[in-house]
Structure 1
Amino acid sequence: MNSSTLIELTQQHGTPLYVYDGSIIRRQVKSLQDAFADVDMRIKYACKANTNLAILRLMRELGVEIDVVSMGEMQMALLAGYAPEQLTFTPSGVPFEEVREAVEAGAKINVDSLPLLEWFGQNYGDTQPCLIRLKPNVAAGGNAKIMTGHSDSKFGISVLLLDDIMNIVERYNLKIIGLHQHTGSDIKEADAFLQASEVIFKAAMRFPDLEIIDLGGGFKVSYKPGDTTTDMQRLGAEITRGFQDFCQSYGRELQLWFEPGKYLVSECGQLLVQATVIKEDPARDFVHVDSGLNHLIRPMMYGSYHHILNLSNPDGPARNYDVVGYICETDTFATDRELPEVRPGDILAFLNAGAYGFTMSSHYNARYRPAEVLVDEGEARLVRRHETLDDLLRTQLDLN
């Protein structure tokens, strides 16, 4: 989308505004499908990245299934038209009754702890198949906060406890139809996936009823101009080779699953904001904008980089700024960032905001959450309106 189109959208819908480009989602889905064309591969979109119903419906249209981590996400996926059998529930220490709800809804369950596996066996025995999430003890990812497969991670059951897993499986005659792992996020090299897959393939030989090997997600996307990304063709070729060898040793063809979230939606999204105050300080110059960590928390939470464009003055003289939000906390989007001169009223675009932007937003400082627009196949649709005071008060009871 060009700058004039984005500025026009802010004139129609105000700022801050999330804008998603459906053509990029289509491109990312196709790149994954093409890379694994030689195996029975299923994409299970990790919808915690972006749960807007319009995005979920587009994923369904593209043949992408869904991985959910809460009953709220499951209900949204069902509203978007997904069939229960297209859903995988991958909880992390949730109340067991939530797992029961997911079973009754018809989703596949991905068990992430020995206590849950025991409970599952006691309640369902051999009547309900499930997957098991293993922790392969492989450290990989953009930073420690988004690594999920290392030995100290809360996620999954350590592969070192495989004998304990087998004891429970055999005690209750559980039918384990899949093994799952997720190493982390922002993984550039194929080596981490290959290392984790070797662990899973070895463990898989102890489970006779497998239908699925799920290698998670975490593929790296481009954040800065010229940034490196996961070489999907190389990754596809190397994992396909290893998976085919495993299937031959196992004795039959299995499905290969991936659970990308950020990879599918990060680059499609931009958060459009307006510069409000330019504060020239002896130490540094600040650009204040009409948004904050309540709308895009990733820079403050993860130290993530979001490239920033000045859509209103792209050819202005270069200056260095701290770009900061309007929340009453340290609320910094970028430090000492070179931008074309920013003036009050200029529209700035924060790129790579399609994943974990709106879904991690909040009402902090009693601020409203922004609207969302999906641009796809030549049509720009408002898919979420700006919030109002009524939205902040909707669940409060003592209003008099």
Structure 2
Amino acid sequence: MFSIQNFTVESLAQQFGTPLYVYDGNKIEAQISTMREAFAGTNLKIKYACKALTNINIMKLMRKNGVDIDVVSIQEAHLAILAGYEPNQIQYTPSGVAFSEVQEAVTMGLRMNLDSLPLLEKFGQTYGNTFPICLRINPHIMEGGTLKISTGHKDSKFGISIEQANEIYDIVQKYDLQVVGLHQHTGSDFKNAHVIIEAAEKLFGLAFQYFPNLEFIDLGSGFKVAYREDDHVTDMEKLGKGVVKVFNDFCQQYGKDVQLWFEPGKFLVSECGYLLTSATVVKHNPARNFVGVDSGLNHLIRPMMYDAYHEILNGSNPDGTEKEKYDIVGYICETDTLGKDRDLPVVHEGDIIVIKNAGAYGFSMASNYNSRFRPAEVMIYNGNAQLIRKRETMEDILKNQVVVEV
């Protein structure tokens, strides 16, 4: 029977029900250690990109391990503060938000990361050089698992084009803005480690030419994790050696010790997460076999949205020698295939079907589609399994609805 730490998936399902998100907190700590080892020799700061998984207990675990935080909305910032972060530990990286949200972020004392010329202009008009800022630069590098998760190419909505460097500098000079950081993010699941070094060198060029007072350079993230056996992953040791060398060379030429920032999300939490589901029906059709489970795209949208592959196990019988090929499908009134043509030990109704790599962009992208409840969440940490989010109920579905006479 498949286990997470020392807990069998059937015991977890019996105690907490299904569908159920389970997170291995010690795996998160191991990923943090891997990053620190890879980039040892630099003044490293890790910022958790919390949009990947915003449960407040996961954020508290990050803080416990000395990891700061990157948020993309004011609501995430409020969650981070509730998790114990100080405002200066929170980097706010909005994309196309109303200026009122930017103003709230300033009032809260967050670190500001500005991603467009109009926003830079408006910020300068409103605040002058009162607050330090970071600039999100689009380095024009096409990289990432798919176009949907590639964010640093020329046609992306994200960041200020590197070709607009002169315009950036004009606005900075006009308002005497305090630029203390440069940021880029090429996208998730990049396959070639050299892209980080290529992006870094573009930011170094801007620093030398325009920005003499930087405190940090933020190289984003996008490190590839394994979604299947023998999958390509980012070689963190190799990447670290390359980045440490070029970054230290930059600091020496720049004349000061600049912090190196990364903001991983998926790398820290993807592999810690499991979505436990129950097989509700095993359906043998002439063309193919289906295993229906008590979950679907409302709980894990990545397979439908990104054609993402997640390894799927029969957690009740992981080592069975008699196998069949199945499509694992959800209970949503929509085509919601979670896994296609999977060879699994024979599945019976009631078996626990385990979907791996569900820690990143699983619950955080979940919805109430078909008026289904979102799952409970459990964290296993140092041998203890604790409920960290209750399963929703009809009260949650109805909570903000206003019944009127019709």
Normalising by the smaller structure, the TM-score range is: over 0.9
| Structure-2 separation of matches of 1:61 and 1:189 | 32
1:209 has 2:213 as partner = yes
Q: What is the Cα-based RMSD across aligned positions, in Å?
A: 1.1
Q: Provide the C-alpha distance between the structure 1 equivalents of 2:49 and 2:386, rounded to a whole number of angstroms.
A: 23
- Aligned partners of 1:141 and 1:186 also within 8 Å: yes
* Bigger mean CA deviation after superposition, 329-338 or 185-194: 185-194
- Output the CA distance in 1 between the equivalents of 2:68 and 2:264: 11
* Contact 2:325–2:341, Cα closer than 8 Å, also in 1: yes
Task: Write the distance in 1 (CA, Å) between the matches of 2:142 and 2:286.
Answer: 42
The match for 2:287 is 283
Query: Is residue 260 from structure 1 mapped to residue 280 from structure 2 by the alignment?
Result: no
Please give the residue correspondences for 1:1-400 in structure 2 after superposition, counting only pairs within 5 Å.
Answer: 1=4, 5-205=8-208, 206-316=210-320, 317-398=322-403
What is the deviation of 1:228?
2.7
Cα distance in 2 for partners of 1:314, 1:142 equals: 29
TM-score by length of 1: 0.98
2:185–2:220 contact (8 Å) kept in structure 1: yes
Q: What CA distance in whole angstroms lies between the structure 2 residues aligned with 1:315 and 1:149?
A: 43
Greater mean deviation of Cα atoms: 377-386 or 2-11: 2-11
Per-residue CA deviations over 1:361-399 (Å, capped at 9, x if unaligned) read 000000000000000011110000110000011111217
On the 8 A contact 2:6/2:383 being kept in 1, the answer is no
Give the number of aligned pairs.
Answer: 400
Tell me how far 1:188 sits from its aligned partner: 3.3
Quick one: distance in 1 between partners of 2:279 and 2:7?
17
Give a deviation string over 1:319-344, Cα, whole Å, max 9, x none: 11111000111111011111111111
Q: How many angstroms apart in 2 are the aligned matches of 1:218 and 1:64?
A: 17
SS at match of 1:55: helix
Runs of 5+ in structure 1 lacking a partner? Answer: none
CA distance in 2, matches of 1:370, 1:334: 19
Which residues of structure 2 form unaligned runs of 5+?
none
CA deviation digits over 1:178-225, x for unaligned, max 9?
000000001233211111111111111111221110000100111112
Asked if 1 retains the 8 angstrom alpha-carbon contact of 2:5 and 2:383, the reply is: no
TM-score between both structures, scaled by the size of structure 2 = 0.97
1: CA distance between counterparts of 2:276 and 2:133? 42
Amino acid at match of 1:374: M
Identity %: 57
Q: Is the 8 A contact 1:293 1:325 kept in 2?
A: yes
Shift of 1:3: 8.2
Cα deviation digits, residues 304-361 of structure 1 (max 9, x gap): 1100110112233111111100011111101111111111111010000000000000
C-alpha contact 1:189 1:231 (8 A) present in aligned 2: no
Partners of 1:125 and 1:3 lie apart in 2 by 56
Amino acid at match of 1:373: V
Task: Give the conservation status (yes or no) of the 8 Å contact 1:268–1:353.
Answer: yes
**Partner AA of 2:319 in structure 1:** D
Report if aligned partners of 2:228, 2:311 keep a CA contact under 8 Å in 1. Answer: yes
**Structure 1 Cα separation of the partners of residues 252 and 287 of structure 2:** 64
> What one-letter code is carried by the residue in structure 2 that aligns with 1:302?
Y
Q: Equivalents in 2 of 1:352, 1:291: separation in Å?
A: 16
